[in-house]
Amino acid sequence: MRYWEACEAQVTVEEAIEECRVHQIEAIVRESDSASVDVTTGDLIVHPDEQADYCGADILGYLGY
């Protein structure tokens, strides 16, 4: 997937966690608000939208792209 496509993408929680894993970041879903967080640092990676999907741009931003 190209960068601009990834920025516009809406992904599932499984896809978001897998993308983080590919970048050596262990992510989990926080039960209280369904946000994805970095296990090591506790940092917020991304909040879900109204359809319970995650914004690709937010994930890329966390990964440093």
Q: What is the DSSP string of 6-55?
A: HHH-EE-HHHHHHHHHHTT--EEE-TTT--EEETTT--EEE---TTS-EE
In the numeric block, which tokens belong to residue 9?
Answer: 């993408």
Residue 4 CA to residue 26 CA, distance in Å, equals 24
List the pLDDT tens digit at each of the 65 positions of the chain: 688 888 899 999 899 999 999 999 999 999 999 999 999 999 999 999 888 899 999 999 999 98
Write down the pLDDT at residue 1: 66
pLDDT at 2 (0 to 100): 82
Query: In which domain, by residue range, is 39 found?
Result: 3-63
pLDDT computed for residue 21 by the predictor: 96
Residue 45 burial (10 A CB sphere; 0-12, 13-18, 19+): buried
Query: Can you give the pLDDT at residue 54?
Result: 94
Is the pTM here over 0.95, yes or no?
A: no
* Total of domains in the chain: 1
